[in-house]
Structure 1
Amino acid sequence: MKNRIKILGLMACGISMTGCSSIAGYDDRHIIAYSVIGLISLLFLGLARYSNLIRDEISDLAAFNANAAQLQQTRKWMPLDKTAPFSLTKVQFGLWTVIISSVYIYLSLIKGDCAVGTINKTALVLMGIFAGTAVASTIIDKNEMNDNRDRHQNTPSQGFFVDILSDDNGISLHRFQNFAWTIIAITVYLYKVSEIRTGCELPELSDTLLALTGISSATYLTLKSQENSPPAQQIPQSAPESQPAAPAPAAAPQLVS
């Protein structure tokens, strides 16, 4: 793991140095900005690949191994990746952290001074939405672990997109729509960044897009809480009530002689 981190660090330095030296007119601000952005991006990708930074937590190792053996039986022609599946909420939170921090560095060092700008509503709302989604998702997962539920997260990774879009029944609509709105918001946000010529004001998204993103996350959390619902408990049958004993027949009267 240490060797991989060193390699990633060297790659970040090499990319930033070669990229800056090939373009005339770059000053120290450009070099610092692109170096820091490259380092943040490479560290995130490296940790995402080789650690549990954006993966779900395994709560039952025995169930994980059993599911791994079952998957290996159905996929004998390909090696099985015995790592935890990727988490949709952690992926979203990590992506927005990298994007907003990189945009801030880019605008602050290259386009203007961010210290003189006003508070950016969009950045705060986006970080609030996905930070809150990540916290709520973690609480849901912890409650399921405490209830000893059979969680679909206790299954080896089947690929990035399959992991983040699947629940216990396969690819699910509520996960897909949440992922789709995340891609839409990221695309619009980065497009608005590309249009900034001067100044350090982070781009503002429309209230409609922010509201749709928030609704999408709320819908996802509501349905996620039901993904690993416990099986319906059967009402125990009570023992049949004892029937009252039948009264004893009256004794026949005896004649006195």
Structure 2
Amino acid sequence: MTAAESVEVVARLRAAGCVFAEDEARLLIEAAAETGADLDVLVARRVAGEPLEYLVGWVEFHGVRVGVSHGVFVPRQRTAFLVDEAVQLARAVPGQPVAVDLCCGSGALGFAFATALAEKGISVELAAADIEPVAVECARRNLAPLNAPVYQGDLFEPLPADLRGRVDILLANTPYVPSEMIAQMPPEARDHEPRTALDGGPDGLDIFRRVVAGARDWLAPGGHLLVESSAAQAATATEILAARGFSARVAESEEYYATVVIGTRALS
């Protein structure tokens, strides 16, 4: 590709409102070269609002490259904060931590979590689950190098019984957008990502409530549930956890513009 052609791609993306047009142009050009796809088609699809991650087939998340398929929730960079919090808690677990990535989507959280622990010399027993078949297939590809099983079903339903009462770290990136706010989301999310991965019900906490209701049976004594929420939802979320017997706290990051609600099961 000539320099003039590259400049033209940047101009088309910038005109479409892509804030990071130069970076996106580079990624699309590389994807076309690597896969043999038609660059003009890729650019046209991006200009039309299709997520960049679907077009290039991956996203950089928490220092690792995660494959992303069409129709699978695209990991948000702010969720790296949840992974950081989970890694810190897992380091305090005696022996090998047991972790589950619930509502796993692409498996990005579990993959990044296990990779970060491996860099610190800690191995983890990891499993994941999601209700969407396309997400399960995507997560299986991403988690295959870790030999981590991915189950298809509704929340805890498909998990094997031998995990019950053993989970030290439960990662649950549940959908938390209030139903009436879906229409106000950017088109690339609203029109392309699965609604089941976005819509959290009237107040955004419907799936969170269901996870909390089932989590106690699956967590080990002293085990932790970590869920991303909005700052406005955090107080209600902690009340939901407390009502189910969890000790609850809120972690916030100005760097990531992220809020994570953490519930801990009592030791006895």
| TM-score normalized by the length of structure 2 | 0.28
Bigger radius of gyration among the two: 1
Higher strand proportion: 2
Relative contact order (C-alpha < 8 Å, sep 6+): which is higher?
1
Higher helix proportion: 1
